[in-house]
């Protein structure tokens, strides 16, 4: 399968083109196959358990803070659903019910599947641990700009950040 990105005559295919490419890559490499080992005992009306778990992942990758944002952000994304061989993205209540139905055993299965996925695609197993690992901490206590995403005025070491630091 070759991934091709191109212009079309249609008004809009998807707002999430990078996520669509990542999804196609995951499909091609079968990255999320370990999620199929999670057995969820629910009715399989429109979506399999694997499809619902993939859609929860899509909601996270598309920037949904909560599952109720799926209805507004992803439900209209037919092109994104088609990459996953689905007609549409499930309603947020369907995804919520699926997560609510998980027992402790199924949560453990999900944890093992996710661990297997990140071990295969993560970089920590390939890192040369004999060398340095650089960590970047910002201990300056400088306020961030008003345009910064989710920025808030805060405290550092119990001291208020002064406004004239900028």
Q: Tell me whether residue 160 is in a domain.
A: no
The pLDDT-based confidence of 152 (bands split at 50, 70, 90) is: low
Residues 6+ apart with CB under 8 A from 101: 40, 41, 42
Least confident window among 4-13, 63-72, 86-95: 4-13
- Asked whether the beta carbons of 42 and 81 are under 8 A apart, the reply is no
Q: Tell me whether residue 162 is in a domain.
A: no
Q: Tell me whether residue 53 is in a domain.
A: yes
> Residue 115's pLDDT is what?
93
- Asked whether the beta carbons of 94 and 52 are under 8 A apart, the reply is yes
Give the number of domains in the chain: 1
Q: Tell me whether residue 164 is in a domain.
A: no
Q: Tell me whether residue 11 is in a domain.
A: no
Q: Tell me whether residue 152 is in a domain.
A: no
> Residue 32's pLDDT is what?
93
Dist. CA 9–CA 6, nearest whole Å: 10
Q: Is the pLDDT of residue 22 over 60?
A: yes
Which domain range does residue 59 map to?
Answer: 17-30+45-120
**Unique residue bearing structure tokens 């960590």:** 135
Q: Tell me whether residue 150 is in a domain.
A: no
Query: In the chain, pLDDT over 90 holds for what percent of residues?
Result: 37
Query: In the chain, pLDDT over 70 holds for what percent of residues?
Result: 74
- Asked whether the beta carbons of 56 and 69 are under 8 A apart, the reply is no
Q: Tell me whether residue 97 is in a domain.
A: yes
N-term to C-term CA, the chain: 51
Q: Identify the CA nearest to 32 among candidates 100, 68, 89, 83.
A: 83
């Amino acid at each position: 399968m070759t991934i091709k990105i191109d212009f079309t005559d249609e008004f809009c295919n998807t707002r999430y083109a990078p996520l669509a490419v990542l999804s196609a890559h995951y499909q091609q490499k079968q990255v999320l196959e370990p999620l199929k080992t999670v057995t969820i005992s629910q009715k399989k009306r429109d979506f399999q358990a694997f499809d619902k778990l993939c859609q929860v992942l899509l909601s996270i990758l598309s920037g949904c803070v909560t599952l109720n944002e799926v209805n507004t952000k992803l439900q209209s994304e037919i092109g994104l659903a088609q990459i996953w061989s689905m007609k549409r993205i499930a309603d947020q209540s369907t995804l919520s019910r699926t997560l609510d139905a998980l027992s402790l055993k199924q949560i453990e299965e999900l944890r093992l599947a996710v661990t297997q996925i990140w071990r295969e695609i993560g970089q920590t197993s390939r890192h040369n641990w004999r060398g340095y690992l650089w960590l970047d901490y910002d201990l300056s206590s400088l306020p961030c700009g008003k345009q910064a995403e989710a920025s808030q005025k805060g405290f550092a070491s119990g001291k208020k950040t002064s406004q004239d630091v900028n």
